[in-house]
Amino acid sequence: MKKIISGLILVLVLSLTVTVFATSRKDEPCRSCNGRGWYKCTMCNGHGQRRCSFCGGEGYIFYRDGSKETCENCRGKGWFPCGSCDEGKVECYACYGTGVQRYVGQ
Ligand SMILES: [Zn+2]
Ligand SMILES: [Zn+2]
Ligand SMILES: [Zn+2]
């Protein structure tokens, strides 16, 4: 009889340990990025491109006499690739882009 009880306690302790272990290792969606792993870039509003302010996104400078000149600032494209992001996305620094927050040692 004693053997059975001690066996039961062992099982109980084991399952308790597993539960506690699982809880402490639980990965939660990152609160900073809502689990996406990235933010929308605020510099380009998520477009990955920034409009050229020099020509207003036209790619050309228009003159009063009707002539136009290719904008040297953006080389006629009207936009720049945004240097602050990757295709409009910025990796979340809080979760290193994984989207999950690990609570280690809690
Ligand atoms: Zn950007
Ligand atoms: Zn331009
Ligand atoms: Zn995050």
pLDDT in tens, 21-35: 555 567 899 999 999
> Residue 106's pLDDT band (boundaries 50, 70, 90)?
very low
Q: Is the pTM of this model over 0.75?
A: no
Q: How far is the CA of 66 from the centre of ligand 1 (A)?
A: 34
The protein residues having their C-beta less than 5 angstroms from ligand 2 (an ion) are: 52, 54-55, 71, 73-74
pLDDT at 102: 78
Ligand nearest to the CA of 34: 3
Percent of the chain with pLDDT over 70: 74
Task: Tell me how far apart the alpha carbons of residues 53 and 47 are, in angstroms, rounded to a whole number.
Answer: 16
Residue identified by tokens 């969606």 is 29
